[in-house]
Amino acid sequence: MTAPRTLLIIPCYNEAESIGVLLTEIARLNLGYDTLVIDDGSSDHTADVARALSPVVQLVSNLGIGGCVQTGIKYAWNKGYDYCIQVDGDGQHPPKELAKLVAQKNTADIIIGSRFENITSFKSTTMRRLGSRLIMLTLYALFGGKLISDPTSGVRHMNRRAMALFARDYPLDFPEPISIARALKGGLTVNVVAVQMRERLSGVSSLKGLRKSISYMVRVLAYIVLARVQKPPVSLSKNYEAIND
C-alpha cells in the first residue's frame, strides 16, 4: 500500500519577502509533502523567488485569494493527491504546526487550524476575534455541528471529498468562512485543531480599518446565509463523476 500523497498549496500575492523563508523552512522540516506555490499575478519577484525552491503556477491574471486557492485544489484533484493543505504565503502559519492537522485527517473532511483554541503565542486583534466569534456563531446557528472557532483561518487540511467540492465550487471573495458554509451545506464534515500562528513575515492585512472590517462582516454573513438557503451547486456524487471525467 502506497503512502497517501499530500500537496501543500501556498497562495501568494506580492510575498517576495516571505515566500523564500517559508519554503526554506518547509524544506528543512522534511515533511514529505509536495509543494505548489500559486502566484496570483504578483507585481514583485514572488514567482522568481519561489521558483528557486518549489514548483510554481503563475496565474496569468489576478484572481484574488479564492481563485488562487481553487487553482491549487484543482491541481491536487487532477493529479490524484489524497490530501491537500492550504498554507498562506505570508509566513503566518509555521510549517511545523501542519503535523497537528495531519494527525486529525481521519476525523473530518476539512481540518481547520485554529488560532483561538489555545492561544499561547501570536494574539490576533480584538476586532478580528470578535468577527471570528460572530461568524462562528452564525455558522453554528445555521448549520449546526461543531463550533468552528477560527472560521477565517487560512490553514486547512482537505481530503478528496473536500477537494471534489471545492474544485467545482469555491468562493472568490472572503473564501475561508464562506467555503466552510458551502462545505457544510454540501454535507462535508469540519473539525478544528489548535495551532500556533505567528505574525506575518511581510505585508499587511487587507482588512485594516473599521469601515473595511464592518463591510467584510456584513458581506461574509450575507454570503453564509445565502449558502444556507441556496441549493448546493452540484451534488457531491455528481461532483466526483464530473471532475473524474
Partner 1 sequence: MIEPYNPTWPSIISVCLFGSVYLTYLIRKMMRRSIDLYDFMMLSMVAILPLIFVIIPAIANLGAELAGVRLPFIIMFSALFVVLFIIGHRLTSKITKLENNNRVLVQELSLLKASLEGHAPRQGCNTLLKSTDEKKCL
Q: Which residues contribute to the site for partner 1 (CB under 8 A)?
A: 5, 7, 23, 26-27, 30, 32-36, 51, 53-61, 63, 67, 70-71, 74-75, 78-80, 172
Shortest reach from residue 144's CB to partner 1, in Å: 30
- What span, in angstroms and rounded, lies between the C-alpha atoms of 22 and 43? 19
Q: Closer to partner 1 at the Cβ: 34 or 44? A: 34
Q: Closer to partner 1 at the Cβ: 74 or 228? A: 74
Cα 134 to chain centroid distance, Å, stands at 19
Shortest reach from residue 79's CB to partner 1, in Å: 6
Shortest reach from residue 237's CB to partner 1, in Å: 22
Shortest reach from residue 37's CB to partner 1, in Å: 9
Distances, alpha carbon 116 to alpha carbons 92, 125, 197, in Å: 14, 11, 10
Amino acid code (one letter) for 190: V
Q: Closer to partner 1 at the Cβ: 21 or 142? A: 21
CB within 8 A of 188, min separation 6: which ones?
108, 109, 110, 161, 162, 165, 236
Q: Closer to partner 1 at the Cβ: 54 or 92? A: 54
Distances, alpha carbon 94 to alpha carbons 29, 122, 138, 167, in Å: 11, 11, 29, 26
Identify the burial level of 3 via C-beta atoms within 10 angstroms of its C-beta, where 0-12 means exposed, 13-18 middle and 19 or more buried.
Answer: exposed
Q: Is residue 7 a contact partner of residue 81, using CB atoms and an 8 Å limit? A: yes
Shortest reach from residue 39's CB to partner 1, in Å: 9
Shortest reach from residue 206's CB to partner 1, in Å: 19
Residue 106 grid cell: 481521519
